[in-house]
Amino acid sequence: MTSSKRGTERHDHKHALQDIMLKYSARRRFMDKIVTIFVIVCVIAAIVPLASILIEVIKNGASAISLEFLTQPPGSLISGRGGIGPAIQGTLIVVGLASLIGAPIGVLAGIYLSEFAGNGIFPSAVRLFNNVLTGLPSIVVGIVGYIVLVLTIGSFSVWAGALSLSIIMIPIVVRVTEETIKIVPNSIREAGHSLGIPKWKITLYIVLKSAKSGVLTGIILSISRIAGETAPLIMTILGTSLFFSSLTGPVDALPLRIWRLASQPYESAHAAGWGAALILVTMFLALSISLRILAQKKGFTVTRTTI
């Protein structure tokens, strides 16, 4: 008797539960739709500013682009002739030099922190300082660059600009490198050790290779960041209308030139400024995309062998 009574109770519970789940499932589906729409709206809200900036830059800058614009030094501001040749060249040189200094230092420091350092006082201090440096305002870097580098070298110079930019670049690369290397699974390192390969070779040829694309992304990101920095450049390279002459002399750069042109009251200067902005954006879009493609291709080494 008891078993059949319990049986009916269970049956009731089962039905009751099914009813509740049915009612809630309709509500759940409705909430799912609402949240999906909300998320899509947020994505659009995030993309719209970016898209509108790109559109504005293209709209206003396209008319200024010409071969003369890209290769000639600026003429007199009122005449509306001349171009931003020196600025393009200067950006390439200063950013290139900064990357050559910043990337190796950043990667090596990141490797040290993730593979060879423990959690002692020195490594912890390094990590702390690194994190603080990632947030350093670029104008402060500029002032320090001016005092330390410009006054020592005796003039505004490419070196001062490159070194200041590398100070901004290094902490980013260190952080990304350390994080990416930490993600490489330990089983890979153990396999290397079991073959009697010395630790530094395991780190360089096996671990770093696995972390390669992440590290490369970090480097690209930091290059894109420093390419647009104006404040440090104001104080370190001065800007000029001449093409590059020496590493210890002043040089022009795109962010700097854009700022100078935009501050002028002349319409022709503004038009040139838009053109320069378009060039800057295009250059770094191209850099990002081509480095991504390169990293994908080389992400796996192909050995042609048949036995």
Residues that bind other proteins (CB under 8 A): 185, 187-188, 190-199, 201-202, 205-206, 209-210, 212, 299-307
Largest pairwise CA distance in the chain: 106
152 or 296: whose CB is closer to other proteins? 296
15 or 298: whose CB is closer to other proteins? 298
27 or 304: whose CB is closer to other proteins? 304
**What minimum distance in Å lies between the beta carbon of 172 and other proteins?**
24
**What minimum distance in Å lies between the beta carbon of 213 and other proteins?**
10
Say how far apart CA 9 and CA 14 lie, in whole Å: 8
122 or 300: whose CB is closer to other proteins? 300
29 or 304: whose CB is closer to other proteins? 304
Supply φ then ψ for residue 133, to 5 degrees: -65, -30
Length of the chain equals 307
**What minimum distance in Å lies between the beta carbon of 127 and other proteins?**
18
DSSP string, 214-240: HHHHHHHHHHHHHHT--HHHHHHTB--
8 or 187: whose CB is closer to other proteins? 187
Three-state SS for 58? helix
90 or 218: whose CB is closer to other proteins? 218
**What minimum distance in Å lies between the beta carbon of 189 and other proteins?**
9
**What minimum distance in Å lies between the beta carbon of 217 and other proteins?**
16
Say how far apart CA 205 and CA 228 lie, in whole Å: 33
**What minimum distance in Å lies between the beta carbon of 201 and other proteins?**
5
Contact residues for 220 (Cβ-Cβ < 8 A; gap 6+): 287, 288, 291, 292
Supply φ then ψ for residue 306, to 5 degrees: -135, 140
251 forms beta bridges with 238
Q: Which of 139, 155, 134 is CA-nearest to residue 234? A: 139
Name the residue with tokens 């293209």.
Answer: 58
**What minimum distance in Å lies between the beta carbon of 214 and other proteins?**
12
Q: Which of 60, 71, 61 is CA-nearest to residue 276? A: 61
